[in-house]
Amino acid sequence: MLDAGEVARLKALMEWEGQRSAPPDGFPRLPDLPAARYTSPEYYALECDHVFRKSWLFAGHMDEIPEPGCYMRWHNAGDPIVIVHGMDGAVRAFYNTCRHRGAPIVTEDRGKSSRLMCGYHNWTYKTDGTLVGVPERQDFPEDFDLSCRGLLPVRCELLGRVIFVNFDENAMPLKEWMGPLWDEWSEFAFDRIRLAARHSFDLKCNWKIAIEANMEVYHVPFIHPNTVAPLVDAKRNLNTLYPNGHARMLAPAPHQTDRARARRGVPAWLAAD
Ligand code: FES
């Protein structure tokens, strides 16, 4: 939650942005991006290793695994994993790979069971990942140790009822990684938020193309002249960079006078020029 002082400071910054007629003093002259960053398989492999394998990734919502024993598959970032609402109430993530010969533990997108059983040879795990059942035990060595053959965990933490995973076992905790956003977002009440629907789209483009379209409002007057543009004052848009790669965009509504113009069909950006 932003306090009143911070809100006043941000509003003043918005006005300053609205008046600005040139880049701020000392703003660096940035080089053009090499186009290969959007096409190179080698660069994409680096991004997978250094971004997606080391960041906290949004994976799901508790409404998708609402009760103890519920589980869901998730495979949006390479290795397939299973996210489990444990019988003890804890939410955990595991590689969806049996410790016997690597078959998938769960094969449907969602399910519910007090035990996770691999379909290949029926090795059976508790919902906390512990291996508890191995058929034909007489064929295994006497000192065969089940305790070191549990499902391999993936880091999994919650922001309220929203589930995040991280493939980096040494990653900092989710709250620390989010930094100031953790408190700023408290007004969204993530501990009470419910899942109304979930939609997935496959886009035929580099992932940054989709992300970058949501990181600026430069395009708004030209791509959305009759929908978003009348609602957003692009000239007073404010971006703040936070640690760990986070950023905050504040896209204010037009001034009252601009809003009145918008009602008459004149976009704010046009009225301001
Ligand atoms: S591969 Fe899972 S029980 Fe054999």
Domain ranges in the chain? 57-188, 201-272
Cα of 144 vs centre of ligand 1, distance in Å, is: 15
Mutating to test ligand 1, I would choose from 118, 125, 151 the residue with most ligand atoms within 8 A of its C-beta, which is 118
SS3 sequence of the chain:
CCCHHHHHHHHHHHHHHHHCCCCCCCCCCCCCCCHHHHCCHHHHHHHHHHHHCCCCEEEEEHHHCCCCCEEEEECCCCCCEEEEECCCCCEEEEECCCCCCCCCCCCCCEEECCEEECCCCCCEEECCCCEEECCCHHHCCCCCCHHHCCCCEEEEEEECCEEEEECCCCCCCHHHHHCHHHHHHHHHCCCCCCCCCCCCCCCCCCHHHHHHCCCCCCCHHHHCCCCCHHHCCHHHCEEEECHHHCEEEECCCCCHHHHHHHHCCCCHHHHHC
Q: What is the CATH number of domain 57-188?
A: 2.102.10.10
What are the tens digits of pLDDT across the range 159-174? 999 999 999 999 999 9
pLDDT for 117 equals 97
pLDDT for 255 equals 67
Q: How confident is the model at residue 235 (pLDDT cuts 50, 70, 90)?
A: confident
pLDDT for 262 equals 55
d(CA 65, CA 71): 6
pLDDT for 3 equals 84
Q: How confident is the model at residue 265 (pLDDT cuts 50, 70, 90)?
A: low
Q: How confident is the model at residue 196 (pLDDT cuts 50, 70, 90)?
A: very high
Provide the edge-to-edge strand list for the sheet that holds 131-133. Answer: 115-117, 124-126, 131-133
Per the prediction, the chain carries an average pLDDT of 91
202: tokens are: 């496959």
pLDDT for 78 equals 85
pLDDT for 270 equals 46
More confident residue, 87 or 142: 87
Does 214 have pLDDT greater than 70? yes
pLDDT for 257 equals 46
Does 266 have pLDDT greater than 90? no
pLDDT for 261 equals 53
Cα of 101 vs centre of ligand 1, distance in Å, is: 5
pLDDT for 252 equals 86
pLDDT for 251 equals 83
Cα of 73 vs centre of ligand 1, distance in Å, is: 18
Supply angle C-alpha 171, 172, 178, rounded to 5: 115
d(CA 52, CA 77): 7
Rg of the chain in Å (alpha carbons): 24
Residues with CB under 6 A from ligand 1: 98, 100-101, 103, 118, 120-123
What are the tens digits of pLDDT across the range 124-172? 999 999 999 999 999 999 999 999 999 999 999 999 999 999 999 999 9
Q: Whose CA is nearest to atom 4 of ligand 1?
A: 121
Cα of 95 vs centre of ligand 1, distance in Å, is: 14
